[in-house]
A and B are shown apart, each in its own frame.
Chain A
Amino acid sequence: MDQRLERILPRVQKPARYTGGEYNAVMKDKSRVDTRFAFCFPDTYEIGMSNLGFRILYGVLNQMPGVWCERVFTPWPDMEEELRRNHIPLYALESGDPVGEFDIIGFSVGYEMAYTAMLNMLDLSGLPLRAEDRPGLTPLVIAGGTAMYNAEPVADFIDLALIGEGEDLLPEVVELYRRARRENWDKPRFLRAAAEIQGVYVPSLYNVSYHEDGTIAAITPLDGAPEKVVKRVVHDMDKSYYPVKTIVPSTEIVHDRVTLEVFRGCIRGCRFCQAGYVYRPVRCRSREQLAEYAQASVQDSGYQEMTLSSLSTSDYPELVGLCDDLEAFCGKNHVNLSLPSLRADNFSMELMQRLQKGRKAGLTFAPEAGTQRLRDAINKNVTEEELTESLKTAFSGGWSGVKLYFMLGLPTETDEDVLGIAEMANHAVHTWREYASNKNRGLRLTVSTSWFVPKPFTAFQWEAQISRAEYERRVKLLREAITAKAVTYNWHDGDTSFLEAVLARGDRRLGRVLEAAFRRGAKLDAWSDYFDLSRWLEAFDECGLDPEFYACRERSREEIFPWSMISCYVSDDYLWRQRELAYQSVTTPDCRTRCSGCGANIVEGGECHRG
């Protein structure tokens, strides 16, 4: 271990997250490796190591002979201070080598609030933040992940973005980079060639011009770059890589368990949900393979907890059968199986009840809106009856802690809808009184509301976020309407949701704002202790931009979005139709009931809803 590191680690919190050396961490002989890949997660070790996508791509890259992929996370501020004070550059966990010496630096970006952490990591590595200030081919700075569906706010800092799923795409980009280095290409030549790969977006190959009012006038591809960068998807989940042999951290992380990904995509089509649209079409793993992976993963890791993961696990066609398979194995090996992302329907509750042994921790439901009218508008097809039935089952089955999640500020929301949330909560209390099997334990009912953030590639991408004052008024309205003592009401911090709304639909002019905010100390915006909106407002001021232009403005159908050069297959026409249906409170059936022609069926040759 680096002697300088040895001296600072005793002074920082949770030093084990900065050492590497975990079971299954991939070590390679540097002399037999030609391409070093620093896989950067712009959040802490505990968050990054809990991310399945990060683990998948780590495994995929390390399968490539001659390539060594290592992990890098954002240091907590105490560690960052020690690193800076002792002039130790950010290093990768496996080898301990400085990130600045790597060939490719790849960021996994799931969330807009991580942008400044990206900048901080580049800065801690001693690299120039702006791509134009890194003229050489090496190091190449790339980024992928859900947030990159609109990469514009970080367009100035990255050389290219990977759109969609990375299992096939990332190795292709790495191979092209190796060829470019063998053949001594310069960076512009490499980027032009990379842009020919489906799913690669090279920001510097697009010229963006603006109208006087700040909206985009035109996006012009340069040097033969495609008009539309089309996302990549994995076609056959059974053939795609699954990290059976994966790193087991020696210190506790957020999701410290085997995560079994049962399918990708979602059949539901909730109109606010970006993941629901960009991960289309639905693709399932077979039950047999999942059972096999489950056993192998438990055996290899020694984990005694396992969770099924997807956007809506109740929609896995063979869920009962899979649970039968897993239950036998898990029971014998004392493995606890949990099923998050379940719908509030009877089928799911019965399953929960069957699997939950011993401790009955909290249950979480997300009705999202307080009235049936608004739930129809957002296409969240859960009825109050279904929720009540689920609660009956839960309370009579011994659960006493329930969380209900809602959003405030959804398009078309009225005060009646807001008050509907309080009614649902009161109703839940009544259900508990009537059905609880053990009233002595009391009821812990938590109602949480967030401030709706319109996202790109959703039916609500044209919407304005409601104003700060209006959000606060609705919070107050709801707070005063929730009277039952058993109910705790939490509402989401407004500052974060406002900035998220700005960045989610931001254009590339925000690069300057990001940099200015970073220089003012923004670096861990996803953590409320370290987030300060005033830095951002100052940064906007300095750059002469108005954050409300991005967050609180309704867009017209004709407006060119900053992300208009990206395609996730789902067409804007479809999304616009969905928006119109929302305003009529008309629902769209799920993909299995009827194909509604979103456009994602092209991927699977016109028939994607069989999964």
Chain B
Amino acid sequence: MNNENVWRYTLLGAIFSLLGFLVLGKLVSFQLDPESKKQFVEEQDKYSGGWHTVYPARGQITDRWGHLMAGNVTMYEVGVNLEHVKNPHTIALTLNVILGLDYAEIMKSIENPPQGLVYLVLDDYVSKADLERLQKYKDEIGNTYGAITGKDAPSLDGLTWVPKLQRIYPEKSLASNLLGFVGRDDSGKIKGYFGVEANYDDLLAGVPVTVWIPNDPNRVEKLPTVPEGTSLVLTIDREIQRSMEDIVDASLDETGAKSATIVVLDPKTGEILAMATTPRLDLNKYWNYVEIFRDSTPFNRGVSEAYEPGSVYKVLTMAAALDKGVVKPQTEFIDTGKIEVGGAEIYNWNSGVWGPQTMIGCMQHSLNVCLAWIATQVGAKDFYSYMKAFGIGHLTGVDLAGEVAGRLKIPGDTDWYDAELGTNSFGQGVSTTPLQMATAVSAIANKGKMMYPHIVRSIISNGHQYDTEPRVLSIPLSEETAVTLTDMLAESLEKEASDALVEGYRVAGKTGTGEIPTPYGYTSDVTNTSFVGWGPVDDPSFVVYIWLEKPLTSIWGSEVAAPIFPRIVNKLVVLMNIPPDDVRYELYGQ
């Protein structure tokens, strides 16, 4: 080695050594300084992958036979990756033609995006058919003009889409009041509204999982299993529900009523077989809700609207009296056409004097005076105990969103007066929902046991089906009383030759006409008309509750609500395979 060059080599060596030490020193300082370390890790994470939220598919809802009532369908979010856009004009024009979006707005959005934005959503919930047309057109543009470069070359580069599931209701408005719908809240979060969708929102929605997806295939890990949202099998029968809705619509046309509601329960299990009411909504167009349900109209009158039921309530009063033993079916009452209870005078519906009547006669002619007398015989304390046992004034606990409890004033309440005992006995001064009344009466149809009313029959979660077991909600009366009262009410219908009688089937029931309270007193020219019935009396399979609000053709329940009952039963016996009584007895004998 030439001695003259030694210093050069030494200098170079020193410089490289120094650089090496500097790099080493910096590396050590990064390791020791937590802030620098954190910053580097963050930078690394930014480019090494991304967080991805996996939303489980919302659970399906079917009727008791498995017919789909609520499912999911793929829709698309269409957007642009701004940094890949080559020709905004092509994108705007394409979306204008295929999706009907505003050309100028798209151009403005793409050319002047908000600061720092890399992705822009242009349209949401685009149908699969539209997206296929978009895809086809994008491919054609790519094939035709892909090789051409230049600013003006047609290009859909940057246009992208992401699939997502959207709720769909194949039956449209059928059972809409029970199902509810899925929309977005103010924060844009998907949420169930009303009915089953709201009540079981958390279960149906499932639990979204956020996972880190690395870009480096070496770091790929198994995605966590994200279970689908829980699916529900309802207790309703699609065909029964449909028939009830048809009858509800027909009864509105025939009577001019403001609204109509029908509840059908299985008294042995508390299963809701159908609940039809008005108005109804095509759930696939849920945004029409505001227009259809104006002026605080409840979404489901069956559970969300309480009213004074009138004489159908006499069934509960009579049940209390029979169960306490203060009267028997043949107990005689002499109707003088007037009775005073708590200082208030009570008259019959026609202000008539009906003379000597048995308890069956009192129910047959729906005598207010007789029932008020019965309530006084039971006594306020026991009367209200019975009413509470029937669930009046309390939520039934049905698994539907928006249930209201109604109102039962009881002794001790500041607004309860002695006269309430008399008026409550025939269903005035007390408010209930149709479901509450149907549930209470189901105790009589089910030999004294009141079952918990419910709409969900099974829950399908994590691949397993969990069936709900019928539960007893209360036992307000004895089996003997229930059977006696059922027989009394069947006989009273037969003696009255009521329009509610059903050919071939022995049924029990009671009509009701309730005056409507207003700030100026009760109305007599407009009423709430109702009917509650069940059958076949020897082995009841259904309880039906009918409510027509303010009918125009007649103010009497016996004239507008009662005739609907046989139409309902004629549908039910076919759909539920219930043979006529004589055929059943014959078949039992074989």
The judgment on whether A and B are partners is no
